[in-house]
Amino acid sequence: MDRRLENKRALVTGASRGIGAAIARRLAREGAHVALTYVGNPDQADQTVKAIQALGVKALAIRADSADAVAVVAAVERAVNELGGIDILVNNAGIAIISPLDDFRLEDFDRILAVNVRAVFVATQAAVKHMRMGGRIINVGSCNAERIPFVGGGVYGMSKAALVGLVKGLARDLGPRGITINNVAPGPVDTDMNPATSDFAKLTVERFMALPRYGTGDEIASLVSWLASAEASYVTGANLAIDGGYTA
């Protein structure tokens, strides 16, 4: 693989497993040193770090709950200190709480916004203080920002739609500094939280997909790595669907 990110320094939030881990490994394969955050499973985070280190680059795991703004800023600062700077921030950490309107708890509403929206802003604000010309901010949004064909996903969809507006606005702030900011918007992806073998997945594929399958974490990571590279230097303020035709 072309090491087009040789010696870049990256922080990927929520990257002990799933899509985040796939992104962290892909950036490392292309030559980047990678810090990742996790919340609840240090063993998985350690396994991901070891897999990255085996590729010949630096890696570290930082425990940080994205709902805690102080912890988010501290994670950015630690990544900067231990990697010697930051060139790439991938705001991947996110949660989904699905519940009908009448049953939705206000504390769950607040936590979704804290993790899915506020943490993205906080991490971005902290990271760009250390970024030079050519810096990259990449958020992992969702196809559900545009389409939610099931009950109970309104708050989750709202949180991901908020990232679209945030990216468009921050592209104006960061453009003069030579820093790009974009969203990727995955469709259904095969993870341990949403396995492609479930009954829900079968229904999703049959009813909503143009391509009759779930995506993979590696496919999402390929788009993220491209946005992180010099090849995407003219792309900013974009929301790029990678959803198998879910929103087509």
- Is 214 considered catalytic here? no
Residue 230 DSSP code: G
- Closest by Cα among 49, 175, 154 to 101: 154
Name the active-site residue from 38, 156, 214, 246.
156
Mean pLDDT of the region 36-54: 96
Are 159 and 166 in contact by the 8 Å Cβ rule? The answer is no
Give the Cα separation of 112 and 171 in Å (integer).
24
* Chain segment 94-139, per-residue pLDDT in tens: 999 999 999 999 999 999 999 999 999 999 999 999 999 999 999 9
* Chain segment 203-245, per-residue pLDDT in tens: 999 999 999 999 999 999 999 999 999 999 999 999 999 999 9
Instruction: State residue 192's pLDDT score.
Output: 86
Residue-range domains of the chain with CATH: 9-241 (3.40.50.720)
pTM here is 0.97
Residue whose pair of structure tokens reads 């820093």 in the numeric block: 179
Mean pLDDT of the region 133-150: 97
Give the Cα separation of 179 and 125 in Å (integer).
12
